[in-house]
Structure 1
Amino acid sequence: MAITFLHTRLIDRGEVLPADCLRVEDSRISAIGGPDLAQPGDELVNGGTLLPGLIDAHVHLVPGASRLAATYGVTTLIDQFSKPDLIAAERSAGADFRTSSIGATAPGGHPTLAYAPFPHVEGAAEAKQFVADRIAEGADHLKLIYDDGSGAAMNIPTLDEPTIRALVEAAHSEGLKVVAHVSTAAGALKVVECGADILAHAPSDLMTPAQVEAIATAGAAVIATLDITDGFGTVGELPLMREAALMARMPARWRRVLDKQSRRWMPPEAPDNTITRANTLALHQAGVPVLAGTDAPNPGLIFGASLHRELQHLVQAGLTPAEAIVAATVAPAEVFELADRSRLAVGARADLLLVDGDPLADITATQQIRHTWLAGEIAVPASDEVELAGIHFIGETTDRIITALKDMWPGFPAPEDVYREDGELLGHVVPMTEGWLPITVFGSALGPATDRETAVETLENKGLSSLGETWWARTDGDWQEATIIEAQPDRVRLRWNDPMLDQPPSGQWYPLTDVDLEFR
């Protein structure tokens, strides 16, 4: 079906087009002009602001990532490290992305904790075969990691300079661009000197004018990823959770993921992005293409939703709203050579985002989403099965990272199990910035964060007896009183206290992904 947008603000390359009508036919933009371009039988859409679909230039795939992103107007993802089986499964979902497949890193180097086992690169002699293997997996570009951990007071293995140069040469000989993960200004300069095309992050230490100029002279681009700091906040509230319009669109299961991530250990002083913002602005002013990217699904970051936060961070860094929109549309399309999208132009792929308000005046207007179209078709969410697979993938990855960190650093703050004298598990105490949070076996808080001894005592007194108390629960609707008949680490059996509800006498099992619980 053809679609005609009538009397709509059209934004292309960060500027308002003089025309205010646009027609889509057969997955492409077919005409731009006045209202006379509408034809009989067209679906008519009136008003609002139409943008090209947004591009997130830095993510790591999970099942359903591209479908979730599209509900927020992000119609293309640039994956910066995923395994081939996940890539193949996500391609079959039909949504669009580009990928590096497995990134090149030294044995034991970043991000081994999250993705092991996977192939590593032990020296320059392995570079050509490593690149060939990634191309065979469907890689569209090469990702390499040059990070010894010094930016985070760590000591981890990393690639040496000859290996980086060999990887860049092998990738370029096959027509692939090279994205380099670095965390420091010196690292950024090194990889660019070795020929890398794109920095995966803005450096976290202040760049000198000479370093900025060197990056610009080399013709490299940078993916800002300023919103990484959105992974830090207070108990029960991460920055994304304060964005009402974004949260209103968030599927309940993903909202629960975000809520759980807000109740984890965080450092006493949350990192800020003051320096990375300054670096981003300096690079931008020097002519370096700045690309919007989120690094989802790091804690506090949700596919699609977090790119709107990234746009806010870019404006706070000093870019204009128009420049931030360019960073999420035409700039990544040009850098990653996606010539068929990110434009409101005749012949372009009809990946479109319709919002209310004027994002050129207020960048938060991008959050006022009406609809998203993928190649001219309304974006649809992932199936329940795929959505659950994505959430479980994140949970398993998080558990693997925490286990590895505990093995490496025995003092690393991590949840502790609390048992009754007879060996029955009562729950867990979870270290937080504010203290220790007492958590039931099924993951619900029994009180506020306190000192460890008080949290343990709370579990000893209430860990099991609370099951006989009245809880508040909700699935997709309003909060209601309920009794927990039985509980397991991944599900609970609830009986609603409302006598008018039709329910089994013994209650009903609910996966924890599908129910919110509060002990009030």
Structure 2
Amino acid sequence: MTATHLTNVHIFDGVGQSAATTVTIEGQLITAVGAAQAPQGADVVDARGASLLPGLIDAHVHTSIDSLRDALRFGVTTELEMQGFWTPEQRIEVNADDTVADVRSALLALMAKGGHPSELMHDLGEHEPGAEHEGWEMPSVSTPDEARAHVQRFTQAGADYIKVMIEEGTTMGHPGLPVIDSETLRAGVDEAHKLGLKVIAHATTLDSTRQALDVGIDGLAHLFIDQRADQAIIAALADADVFVTPCLVVSASLMGRDAAADLAADPRVSGRLSQPWLDTLRGAYNTYPQGTFQHVLDSVAALHAAGVDILAGTDASIPVPTHGGVAHGASMHHELALLVQAGLSTEAALAAATSVPARCFNLADRGRIAPGLRADLLLVDGNPLDEITHTLDINTVWRRGACLK
């Protein structure tokens, strides 16, 4: 086992700029930060002019093996699945494979019969809820007992957290979707909390966000896009200690913006993605063109200023241009740029993709650069603290110490 000793490197440690300029990797772990001497026999890498970051954590995806591989190419070393068919056996296999990003999963969400995301499946011509897929049956709940049973079932099946859908369809181009009533939602949330799991809500309007808060959720997988945040909702989210993954890239896509077309044309991206994914980046949902994207950016800034934890996530899923504007891995870098556009400092934006999601999802072994943590690392040319777009100047990625050039 040969150690790697990086020297003369700028270090963002997950929280801020470190005074140290060396990092040592041995096996799967970071073993030293700031050591003056390299271990005997180590490969010494002069990283002058480059910056080392913790591996990025995408806090909202719908992923696959191929997508996990794409994510890792862009320095995303962990993806958090928010609605997908991941058996415990599959996840054990993935977590041991250093050629793909690590994954955590909610498995399948609490959802209403015929509610979100069934409209997306209809749009794509895929199977309807109730069809079986890789051993899972698409569930729905309509009573408190059914909600409690769902949470128990998927907790036993290995869910790392629980997802709930609170989506009546206005922003998705399908107004009037069935939704779960608050009593049923609250029963599911309470059961998850009894079992020690956090609950993350899909909510894209202010009213659904209020409902999510009312039933006691821990985090939001989206930020509402129908209104700018007012002081009441800002205070409510801050007081409840709810974290928010705004998924700005998909919010822009829902509003029909083609902002990701420039990303697809960037040679730092186009050389790492297949044509179907490049076509998807150039696409958009365009289901809520009446929205004002600046209002979403303003809401993110206000929530961050109020002390609400902001996490970087993309809602990347499958390569379909009509559900486009987003791609695994690449869109994390776009999300970071949009967080800075919203008013976060480069330091805060990078924390939103590293230490903050690690803390919010209890991933204590990653998200920072410190001795004893996983060697999930991203080396980029330039300094993203000076200019956030340097995160795409990817030099080297390590996943558990395994090097991917």
Question: Per the shorter chain, which TM-score range?
Answer: 0.7 to 0.9
Is residue 193 of structure 1 aligned with residue 214 of structure 2? yes
SS in 2 for 1:207: coil
Deviation sequence 1:40-87 (CA, Å, 0-9, x none): 3212222110000000000011232222111100001111000245x7
Match of 1:13 in 2: 14
Is residue 100 of structure 1 aligned with residue 92 of structure 2? no
SS in 1 for 2:65: coil
SS in 1 for 2:83: coil
Go from structure 1 to structure 2 and tell me whether the alpha carbon gap of 1:213 and 1:261 turns closer, same or farther (over 3 Å shift). Answer: closer
SS in 2 for 1:70: helix
Instruction: Name the CA distance, whole Å, in 2 between partners of 1:222 and 1:266.
Output: 23
Instruction: Name the CA distance, whole Å, in 2 between partners of 1:240 and 1:335.
Output: 29
- Quick one: which of 155, 164, 167 aligns to 2:185? 164
Go from structure 1 to structure 2 and tell me whether the alpha carbon gap of 1:263 and 1:357 turns closer, same or farther (over 3 Å shift). Answer: closer
Deviation sequence 1:269-326 (CA, Å, 0-9, x none): 5865222111111111111000000000241211111000000000000101000001
Query: Could you state the TM-score of these two structures normalised by the residue count of structure 1?
Result: 0.68
Larger CA Rg, structure 1 vs 2? 1
May I ask how many residue pairs the two structures share in their alignment?
374
- Quick one: which of 261, 268, 271 aligns to 1:238? 261
Report which stretch shifted further, 267-276 or 361-370: 267-276
- Quick one: which of 199, 203, 225 aligns to 2:247? 225
Contact in 1 for aligned 2:60/2:245 (Cα 8 Å): yes
Following superposition, the deviation at residue 239 of structure 1 comes to 3.8
- Which of 1 and 2 has higher RCO (CA within 8 Å, sep 6+)? 2
- Quick one: which of 361, 367, 383 aligns to 1:336? 361
Deviation sequence 1:371-426 (CA, Å, 0-9, x none): 1100100248xxxxxxxxxxxxxxxxxxxxxxxxxxxxxxxxxxxxxxxxxxxxxx
Match of 1:27 in 2: 28
Deviation sequence 1:337-383 (CA, Å, 0-9, x none): 10011111111111000001110110001000001100100248xxx
Match of 2:133 in 1: none
Instruction: Name the CA distance, whole Å, in 2 between partners of 1:215 and 1:21.
Output: 39
Counterparts in 2 of 1:269-288, with a 5 A limit? 273-288=293-308
Contact in 2 for aligned 1:233/1:270 (Cα 8 Å): no
Report which stretch shifted further, 254-263 or 140-149: 254-263
Question: Could you tell me which amino acid in structure 2 is paired with residue 164 of structure 1?
Answer: L
Question: Could you tell me which amino acid in structure 2 is paired with residue 116 of structure 1?
Answer: P
Counterparts in 2 of 1:22-101, with a 5 A limit? 22-36=23-37, 38-47=38-47, 48-84=50-86, 88-89=89-90, 91-93=92-94, 94=97, 95-101=101-107
Go from structure 1 to structure 2 and tell me whether the alpha carbon gap of 1:96 and 1:267 turns closer, same or farther (over 3 Å shift). Answer: closer
Instruction: Name the CA distance, whole Å, in 1 between partners of 2:280 and 2:230.
Output: 39
Contact in 1 for aligned 2:253/2:286 (Cα 8 Å): no
Following superposition, the deviation at residue 150 of structure 1 comes to 3.1
Instruction: Name the CA distance, whole Å, in 1 between partners of 2:288 and 2:114.
Output: 28
Instruction: Name the CA distance, whole Å, in 1 between partners of 2:284 and 2:239.
Output: 42
Question: Could you tell me which amino acid in structure 2 is paired with residue 174 of structure 1?
Answer: L
Following superposition, the deviation at residue 240 of structure 1 comes to 2.3
Query: Could you state the TM-score of these two structures normalised by the residue count of structure 2?
Result: 0.87
Go from structure 1 to structure 2 and tell me whether the alpha carbon gap of 1:177 and 1:149 turns closer, same or farther (over 3 Å shift). Answer: same
Percent identical among aligned pairs is: 35
Instruction: Name the CA distance, whole Å, in 2 between partners of 1:295 and 1:265.
Output: 12
Following superposition, the deviation at residue 255 of structure 1 comes to 2.8
Question: Could you tell me which amino acid in structure 1 is paired with residue 144 of structure 2?
Answer: A
Following superposition, the deviation at residue 262 of structure 1 comes to 3.7
Instruction: Name the CA distance, whole Å, in 2 between partners of 1:377 and 1:335.
Output: 26
Deviation sequence 1:163-209 (CA, Å, 0-9, x none): 11001001001100000000112211221121100011111022210
Instruction: Name the CA distance, whole Å, in 2 between partners of 1:173 and 1:265.
Output: 37
Go from structure 1 to structure 2 and tell me whether the alpha carbon gap of 1:77 and 1:33 turns closer, same or farther (over 3 Å shift). Answer: same
Question: Could you tell me which amino acid in structure 2 is paired with residue 10 of structure 1?
Answer: I
Match of 1:131 in 2: 151
Instruction: Name the CA distance, whole Å, in 2 between partners of 1:218 and 1:265.
Output: 31
Following superposition, the deviation at residue 329 of structure 1 comes to 0.4
Report which stretch shifted further, 295-304 or 193-202: 295-304
Go from structure 1 to structure 2 and tell me whether the alpha carbon gap of 1:73 and 1:234 turns closer, same or farther (over 3 Å shift). Answer: closer
Following superposition, the deviation at residue 35 of structure 1 comes to 3.6
Go from structure 1 to structure 2 and tell me whether the alpha carbon gap of 1:190 and 1:77 turns closer, same or farther (over 3 Å shift). Answer: same
Counterparts in 2 of 1:496-515, with a 5 A limit? none
Question: Could you tell me which amino acid in structure 2 is paired with residue 65 of structure 1?
Answer: S
Contact in 2 for aligned 1:22/1:33 (Cα 8 Å): yes
Instruction: Name the CA distance, whole Å, in 1 between partners of 2:207 and 2:285.
Output: 30
Go from structure 1 to structure 2 and tell me whether the alpha carbon gap of 1:66 and 1:91 turns closer, same or farther (over 3 Å shift). Answer: farther
Counterparts in 2 of 1:98-497, with a 5 A limit? 98-113=104-119, 114=121, 116-117=129-130, 118-152=138-172, 154-204=175-225, 205-228=227-250, 229-230=252-253, 232=256, 238-248=261-271, 250-251=272-273, 254-259=274-279, 262=282, 273-297=293-317, 298-379=323-404
Instruction: Name the CA distance, whole Å, in 2 between partners of 1:260 and 1:213.
Output: 37
Go from structure 1 to structure 2 and tell me whether the alpha carbon gap of 1:101 and 1:24 turns closer, same or farther (over 3 Å shift). Answer: same
